[in-house]
C-alpha cells in the first residue's frame, strides 16, 4: 500500500465517521433472529423505517450511508438481502462518490438473497424474487425476477386481512390472466 492510498482511505473514513457506531449496530442486526429488533437497530443507524417493518437476519442495509435508505410501512426483507444507497468509484484516482437514495414502498417483499442497487425505488406491494438484482425502478404491484431484475407479472389484487385473523399479514398473488 502506498501513502496516497492510505491517506485516501483515512479521508473516506473520517468523512463517514458515524460508521464507528452504525457498523456495530449493523452487525448486531445481522445476527439477531428477531425481525422487530432488527428493524429497530436499523432505525437507530439512520435508516428510515415505517411501521410493522420485518427485517430478517443476515440483511445488509446501507453499510456506508444508512440514511439514504427508506423502508415504508409493512415492508418485509428476507435473509441475505442487500440494499445499497451509496456508490464509490472503484478508481482510486477518480475519488468520486455518489449517494442515491433507495426506497422500498409500502407492503413490498424483498425475497432471500435479492440485491437493490443505489437509487432504485421498489413500488407499492411488489415482490422482488430470490436472488434478483434490482438496477432500475420497479412499478407498483409487480413481481420482478432475475439478474438484472425484470417485471414478469402484475399483481392485481390485494386482500385485506380480517381484524380477527391470527396471521399478521398475507400477500396473495393472482395471475393477471
Distance CA 96, CA 106 (A): 32
Catalytic residue among 8, 42, 86, 87: 86
Distance CA 147, CA 69 (A): 21
Which residues lie below 8 Å from residue 161, measured CB to CB, with a gap of 6+? 167, 169, 170
Please report how many Cα atoms fall inside a 13 Å half-sphere around the Cα of residue 125, on the Cβ side: 16
Q: Say whether the peptide bond before residue 133 is cis (omega within 30 degrees of 0).
A: no
8 is catalytic: no
Catalytic residues: 86
Amino acid at each position: 500500500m502506498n501513502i496516497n492510498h492510505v491517506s485516501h482511505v483515512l479521508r473516506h473514513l473520517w468523512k463517514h465517521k458515524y460508521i464507528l457506531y452504525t457498523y456495530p449496530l449493523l452487525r448486531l442486526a445481522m445476527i439477531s433472529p428477531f425481525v422487530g429488533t432488527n428493524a429497530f437497530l436499523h432505525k437507530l443507524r439512520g435508516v428510515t423505517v415505517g411501521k410493522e417493518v420485518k427485517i430478517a437476519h443476515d440483511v445488509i442495509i446501507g453499510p456506508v450511508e444508512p440514511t439514504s435508505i427508506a423502508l415504508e410501512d409493512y415492508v418485509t426483507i428476507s435473509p441475505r438481502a442487500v440494499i445499497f444507497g451509496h456508490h464509490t468509484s472503484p478508481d482510486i484516482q477518480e475519488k468520486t462518490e455518489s449517494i442515491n437514495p433507495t426506497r422500498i414502498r409500502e407492503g413490498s417483499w424483498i425475497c432471500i438473497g435479492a440485491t437493490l442497487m443505489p437509487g432504485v425505488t421498489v413500488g407499492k406491494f411488489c415482490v422482488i424474487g430470490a436472488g434478483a438484482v434490482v438496477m432500475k425502478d420497479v412499478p407498483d404491484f409487480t413481481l420482478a425476477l432475475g439478474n438484472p431484475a425484470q417485471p414478469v407479472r402484475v399483481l392485481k389484487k390485494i386482500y385485506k386481512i380480517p381484524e380477527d385473523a391470527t396471521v399478521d399479514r398475507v400477500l396473495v398473488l393472482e395471475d393477471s390472466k
